[in-house]
């Protein structure tokens, strides 16, 4: 009986040690995956929303995901629109109101990783158009959007200049424009302000949410 007990303890110990070794090996194998994921370390679903998960009717032309932008370089791995929950929820309300008028929001940019901001600044170090990465932009905080309005055929309303036009003609207070353009800009501005998104002086397409602050983040989204 004593021998059986002894044998049982020995076998259990061997089993325990083997399983520990296995676990250790498993952990070792997992390491590279964790390293690869390190870039997403600040990504918490609670603090970020991909806009299309709330409403699939938005139209996208995320310019930094291709070369059609002022630096003529692809800055994002693919086109995604992530925002802080407050901003995403506001845009859904605005989109719903615009859709009642057979119109829709078209997005040019949403969250922009801090490291992309740094690259943009290196190419255009002009604080009127690109926020200094030391301070960070509202886009780096997930609190700003670049957007316009399109009609039921997806055609952009005439706003007088293209997106990322760096000149007086794109300024909010520039009034030497035909009535239709002024009316289109006013439509965009009024609906944004109605829901708490504020314009900046130099870009008709840029609006941000300033009632809450979030830190600048660096994470980059995964592509499908
Ligand atoms: Zn912007």
Same domain for 17 and 77?
A: no
pTM value is 0.81
Same domain for 167 and 60?
A: yes
Cα of 145 vs centre of ligand 1, distance in Å, is 6
Same domain for 51 and 34?
A: no
Cα of 179 vs centre of ligand 1, distance in Å, is 25
We report the CATH number of the domain holding residue 184 as 3.30.1380.10
Within-domain flag for 217 = no
Residue with tokens 């032309």: 61
Q: Are 201 and 172 in contact (CB under 8 A)?
A: yes
How high is the pLDDT of residue 40? 58
Within-domain flag for 96 = yes
Cα of 31 vs centre of ligand 1, distance in Å, is 37
Within-domain flag for 164 = yes
Whole-number CA gyration radius for the chain: 25
Cα of 38 vs centre of ligand 1, distance in Å, is 27
Within-domain flag for 147 = yes
What domain count does the chain have? Answer: 2
Q: What's the DSSP call for residue 156?
A: B
C-alpha dist (Å) from residue 196 to 63, 87, 129, 212: 25, 9, 22, 11
Over residues 45-72, mean pLDDT:
95
Regarding predicted confidence, which is higher, 47 or 129? 47
Which residues form the domain of 35? Answer: 2-39
Cα of 16 vs centre of ligand 1, distance in Å, is 58
Over residues 79-95, mean pLDDT:
98
- How far apart, in whole angstroms, are the C-alpha atoms of residue 171 and residue 155? 22
Same domain for 32 and 104?
A: no
What are the tens digits of pLDDT across the range 103-130? Answer: 999 999 999 999 999 999 999 898 877 8
Same domain for 47 and 22?
A: no
Give the strands of the sheet with 144-150, arranged side by side.
59-60, 104-109, 144-150, 206-208, 198-199
């Amino acid at each position: 009986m004593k021998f059986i007990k002894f044998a049982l303890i020995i076998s259990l110990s061997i089993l325990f040690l083997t399983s520990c070794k296995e676990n250790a090996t498993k952990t070792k194998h997992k390491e590279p995956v964790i390293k690869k994921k390190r870039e997403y370390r600040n990504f918490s679903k609670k603090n970020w929303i991909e806009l299309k998960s709330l409403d699939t009717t938005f139209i996208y032309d995320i310019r930094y995901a291709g070369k059609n932008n002022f630096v003529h370089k692809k800055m994002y791995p693919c086109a995604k629109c992530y925002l802080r929950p407050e901003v995403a929820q506001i845009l859904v309300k605005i989109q719903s109101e615009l859709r009642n008028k057979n119109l829709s929001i078209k997005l040019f940019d949403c969250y922009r990783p801090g490291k992309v901001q740094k690259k943009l600044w290196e190419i255009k170090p002009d604080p009127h158009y690109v926020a200094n990465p030391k301070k960070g932009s509202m886009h780096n905080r997930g609190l700003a959007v670049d957007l316009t309005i399109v009609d039921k055929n997806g055609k952009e309303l005439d706003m007088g200049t293209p997106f990322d036009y760096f000149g007086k003609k794109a300024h909010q207070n520039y009034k030497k424009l035909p009535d239709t353009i002024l009316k289109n800009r006013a439509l965009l501005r009024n609906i944004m302000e109605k829901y708490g998104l504020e314009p900046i002086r130099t870009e008709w397409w840029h609006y941000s949410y300033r009632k809450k602050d979030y830190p600048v983040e660096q994470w980059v989204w995964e592509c499908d």
